[in-house]
Chains A and B, each alone.
Chain A
Amino acid sequence: MNLRTASQVLGVARQLEDDAARFYQSMSQTHATNGELFLGLAKQNKRNIVLIDRAYLSISNDAFETGFCFDIDIDDSALGLEQSGCDGYSQCLKGAIEHEKKAGAFYSIAAEQSKSLLAGVTRTMVQIAGTKEDRLKTLIALVAAGGAQNTQGD
């Protein structure tokens, strides 16, 4: 899919955050040991949606280059993140890591392309990309810690 307009890019961003929020919420229920951590990640995703919407409205103006700013190719299949699609705690985490890497890369490209034309959006994209980096470290550490502890149905 080729993204050209601000509403497309921000629509993808919202979907990334929404999918991730539901995934981590689900993980918090099925993997109680790290339940609080996963809930925290889900909350952060929901906050990101608010940030994205606010950034869009702050630059959304009859004059700015919302329609001509972007040229991003993304793989449609990279957008989804569902717990039902993975087998086992470790696999779910690895799936999440891949998703977060792709999301981080998406935000970085979007930030670069919108720089100086849609500065409010750029700032938000950079901020969210930063949280993905922190998140990757957390997820990688969880994988390294290994195994499911007191999980259900794993």
Chain B
Amino acid sequence: MAILDEPIKGTLLLRNYIGGEWVESKGALVDVVNPATGGVVAKAPRSTRDELDTAVSAATDAFPDWSRTPPNTRAQCLYRLRELMAEHFEELSRIQTQEHGKTIDESRGETRRGIEEVEVACGIPTLMMGYNSEDIAVGIDEYLIRKPVGVFGILPPYNFPLMIPLFFAPYAVAAGNCMVLKPSDECPVTQTRIAELVDEAGFPPGVWNVVHGGKDIGNNMLEHPDIAGIGFVGSTAVARHVYERCGATGKRVIANGGASNFIVVMPDCNLDRTIRAVMTSFFGNAGQRCLAGQSLIVVGDDEAFYRRLLDGLVSAASEIKIGYGLDDSVQMGPMRDGKKKQRVIGFIESGVQEGAVVRLDGRENINIAGDYPDTCFLGPTIMENVTPKMRIVQEEIFGPTLNLIRAHNLEDAIRICNENPFGNADCIFTSNGGTARQFQYDVISGNVGINIGIAAPIAFFPLSGTKNSFFGVLHTQGQETIRFFTEDKVVVQRWI
């Protein structure tokens, strides 16, 4: 089988991008490893506190001019960035596969979504408009202006190295702010390449800064007095910490946490299409997404339907081709690293100990296409006889596993979804409009899918979330995130 050409050749030494300059860090270097091949694709620095301070200073210095730049002019930089990303579409996609492990289809999907974020942010002249009322009292007018705030910090996770930083960054700068982005230290190469394109797009120095590092730099950003707000996506435990520290330090915050998502399957669903959609929901990105399905609730007591569904799921999942994502016939790549693989195995074992029955075991006899080490590879696992209180349902697994739960009726299924501590995404598969509406109405979840396996909002809708999946008020993406990145100034005016 042919492997697509790898854009990263050798081992890159990553530098920080501060004030429009590429700066070599004094910090220790950490390997960035291709999880499929085991090869080191880059070395990323653990930047120092001083280097972060320099980046924040550069952003602070750039803010007065950038914030006074007309929105349409700011948008021209974003238009150019969009063109450059489109021009380098394939390269950006393959870099993601090399450093993360996801398949080339998944990487291209992610690149397309990232470009979409920039495209929506280009609409800033309209997105940032305020509103007014004449004669709120005789001769007195009132109007609202949206103003940029200052410097923002962006802390994205490893699982979508191109897209998730762009949930925040283009909107932040479009609105007239400056920002410091700390890419995930596990997948830092993509954002380094994006910063090169940002530089080529002609953003003024200091508007867009990239500082590499681990959680120390992240914590420094939470405490930094000159950072006005934080955009974060990661686990619930860290999201909660980010939210608390931002509250303590007076920063505004968007903190997306973890998930344990449900897919409810009604017996009136289109079974074939449901199974295919379920495959991508549970096993796409090797299950490493906050919108992935984790538990599948089969509604009703129809044993024949349950058997057909289970057999169909096991059959489809056992045929998934696993391998290196740059082989375009591969359907599922590896876990991001060996530690994450072992963590998922731990969850499977915990499920078994609590009474789940493994119907398809992804821990064993993993058939990897091509000659690659099995360090990070895991096959799809399906467990049945799962109950809602089990650890594999209550906690986030973030891997290629599918829990099968039975529910007598729709109300029961909705109750199971709502009693879960997370509220990121819940979906239903049904051909009945009334059932779908009831689910949509009653389920407590930020994102809802109806005959959709991954309820991912497009860039001009917010990525919602509730309960332990989100801390904050405003969500990222689209118009709502412009509210996050701007402050309202309300003017009451009278001319005598």
Q: Known contacts A68-B280, A116-B273: does B456 contact A63 (CB below 8 Å)? A: yes
- Interface pair B329/A4, CB less than 8 Å apart: yes
Task: Return chain B residues, CB-CB under 8 Å to A56.
Answer: 108
Task: Return chain A residues, CB-CB under 8 Å to B283.
Answer: 68
Q: Which residues 4-21 of A have a CB within 8 angstroms of B? A: 4-8, 11
- Interface pair B284/A68, CB less than 8 Å apart: yes
Choose from A6, A8, A68 the contact partner of B279 (Cβ within 8 Å).
A68
Distance in angstroms between the alpha carbons of A5 and B109 in the assembled complex: 13
Q: Which residues 444-484 of B have a CB within 8 angstroms of A? A: 452-456
Residue of A nearest to B4 (CB): A7
Distance in angstroms between the alpha carbons of A68 and B284 in the assembled complex: 9
B163 within 8 A of A: yes
Q: What is the number of residues of chain B that contact chain A, defined by CB distance less than 8 Å?
A: 35
B391 within 8 A of A: no
Q: Which residues 247-279 of B have a CB within 8 angstroms of A? A: 270, 273, 276-277, 279
- Interface pair A4/B160, CB less than 8 Å apart: no
Distance in angstroms between the alpha carbons of A89 and B321 in the assembled complex: 43
- B87 CB, nearest partner CB in chain A, Å: 13
Q: Known contacts A5-B103, A7-B104, A68-B284: does B109 contact A63 (CB below 8 Å)? A: yes
B330 within 8 A of A: yes
- Interface pair B328/A62, CB less than 8 Å apart: no
Residue of B nearest to A116 (CB): B273
Task: Return chain A residues, CB-CB under 8 Å to B113.
Answer: 61-62
Q: Known contacts A61-B112, A62-B163, A62-B456: does B273 contact A6 (CB below 8 Å)? A: no
Distance in angstroms between the alpha carbons of A138 and B14 in the assembled complex: 58
Q: Known contacts A57-B112, A62-B110, A62-B163: does B456 contact A6 (CB below 8 Å)? A: no
Distance in angstroms between the alpha carbons of A65 and B284 in the assembled complex: 8
- Interface pair B160/A65, CB less than 8 Å apart: no
Residue of A nearest to B330 (CB): A5
Distance in angstroms between the alpha carbons of A62 and B283 in the assembled complex: 13
B332 within 8 A of A: yes
Choose from B104, B273, B285, B330 the contact partner of A117 (Cβ within 8 Å).
B273
Choose from B321, B328, B453 the contact partner of A7 (Cβ within 8 Å).
B328
Distance in angstroms between the alpha carbons of A81 and B275 in the assembled complex: 37
- Interface pair A63/B291, CB less than 8 Å apart: yes
Q: Which residues 330-346 of B have a CB within 8 angstroms of A? A: 330-332
- Interface pair A60/B105, CB less than 8 Å apart: yes
Distance in angstroms between the alpha carbons of A5 and B105 in the assembled complex: 8
Distance in angstroms between the alpha carbons of A4 and B327 in the assembled complex: 12
- Interface pair B109/A64, CB less than 8 Å apart: yes
Choose from A5, A60, A61, A117 the contact partner of B328 (Cβ within 8 Å).
A5
A69 within 8 A of B: yes
B186 within 8 A of A: no
Distance in angstroms between the alpha carbons of A64 and B449 in the assembled complex: 12
- Interface pair B329/A66, CB less than 8 Å apart: no
Residue of B nearest to A66 (CB): B105
Choose from A5, A62, A64 the contact partner of B331 (Cβ within 8 Å).
A5
Choose from A3, A65, A116 the contact partner of B453 (Cβ within 8 Å).
A65
Contact pattern, B 339-355, Cβ under 8 Å of A = 1, otherwise 0:
00000000000000000
Q: Known contacts A60-B108, A60-B109: does B276 contact A65 (CB below 8 Å)? A: yes
Distance in angstroms between the alpha carbons of A19 and B454 in the assembled complex: 37
Distance in angstroms between the alpha carbons of A11 and B108 in the assembled complex: 14
Q: Known contacts A6-B105, A60-B105: does B284 contact A67 (CB below 8 Å)? A: yes
Contact pattern, B 139-159, Cβ under 8 Å of A = 1, otherwise 0:
000000000000000000000
- B199 CB, nearest partner CB in chain A, Å: 25
Choose from A8, A62, A69 the contact partner of B276 (Cβ within 8 Å).
A69
Q: Known contacts A65-B280, A65-B453, A67-B103: does B328 contact A8 (CB below 8 Å)? A: yes
Task: Return chain B residues, CB-CB under 8 Å to A117.
Answer: 273, 276-277
Q: Which residues 42-64 of A have a CB within 8 angstroms of B? A: 56-57, 60-64
Task: Return chain A residues, CB-CB under 8 Å to B163.
Answer: 62
Distance in angstroms between the alpha carbons of A68 and B454 in the assembled complex: 13
Task: Return chain B residues, CB-CB under 8 Å to A61.
Answer: 109, 112-113, 456
Distance in angstroms between the alpha carbons of A6 and B328 in the assembled complex: 9
Distance in angstroms between the alpha carbons of A8 and B327 in the assembled complex: 9
The residues of B with any CB-CB pair to A shorter than 8 Å are 103-106, 108-110, 112-113, 160, 163, 270, 273, 276-277, 279-280, 283-285, 289, 291, 316, 320-321, 328-332, 452-456
24 A–B contact pairs at CB < 8 A? A4-B329, A5-B105, A5-B330, A7-B108, A7-B328, A11-B328, A56-B108, A61-B112, A62-B109, A62-B160, A62-B454, A63-B452, A63-B454, A63-B456, A65-B284, A66-B106, A66-B109, A67-B105, A67-B284, A68-B284, A68-B320, A69-B276, A116-B270, A117-B277
Query: Could you list 8 further interchain pairs (A-B, Cβ under 8 angstroms) beyond the known A4-B321, A5-B331, A57-B112?
Result: A7-B328, A60-B105, A61-B109, A62-B163, A63-B455, A64-B280, A66-B108, A67-B332
Q: Which 3 A-B pairs have the closest CB atoms?
A: A63-B456, A63-B454, A68-B279
